[in-house]
Amino acid sequence: MHIYWDKQFEIGNTLIDTEHRMLIMLFRKLDIAIKTRQPHKTILRIIVEAKKFAEFHFISEENLMYELNYPELAKHEVMHSQLLAQLEILISRISHKREFPDDLLFFMNKWLVTHIGKEDSKIALYAMNSEQRPIGEEMYSQFLAAIHQTD
């Protein structure tokens, strides 16, 4: 499976788009580790790294929704919880060699494309039209600009 960032995943919210890029980069790292036949322990460590970043991203996204008073916050939190539970099951199965890491990549790729396109795009649209602004909103763009200045 080839997992990569595509412009079509952009939803127009700097914070969420940046975190999505990072999440996809971690799954790309896993894809490379699998294809280059890295040791099982290395692959598991990358999976845990991606899962922990997903947890961070979910709370970050939920905080943004909270700050905007997003009406579907509770529903979105449930989706995140369900995904994390499914990830835990897959990680356990992979660690016990009852599932292949490729299966996790397939699952995550499908989930990300569907979730970003359907659910996260609703958040971005709501944020654009909301009178309430997230805390430190201008800092996201400043942070990214500072990164590009050092390149």
Question: What residue ranges define each of the domains in the chain, with the CATH number in brackets?
Answer: 11-129 (1.20.120.50)
Statement: residue 34 has pLDDT above 70: yes
The token duo for 123 is 């958040």
Over the stretch 47-88, which tens digit does the pLDDT of each residue have?
999 999 999 999 999 999 999 999 999 999 999 999 999 999
131-144 mean pLDDT: 77
26, 47, 80, 95, 130 from 92: Cα distances, Å: 19, 11, 18, 5, 41
143-150 mean pLDDT: 75
26-45 mean pLDDT: 94
Task: Decide if 25 contacts 41 (C-beta within 8 A).
Answer: no
Statement: residue 1 has pLDDT above 70: no
pTM (2 d.p.): 0.86
- Confidence at residue 53, expressed as pLDDT on a 0 to 100 scale: 96
Statement: residue 3 has pLDDT above 80: no
- End-to-end CA, the chain: 30
- Confidence at residue 151, expressed as pLDDT on a 0 to 100 scale: 59
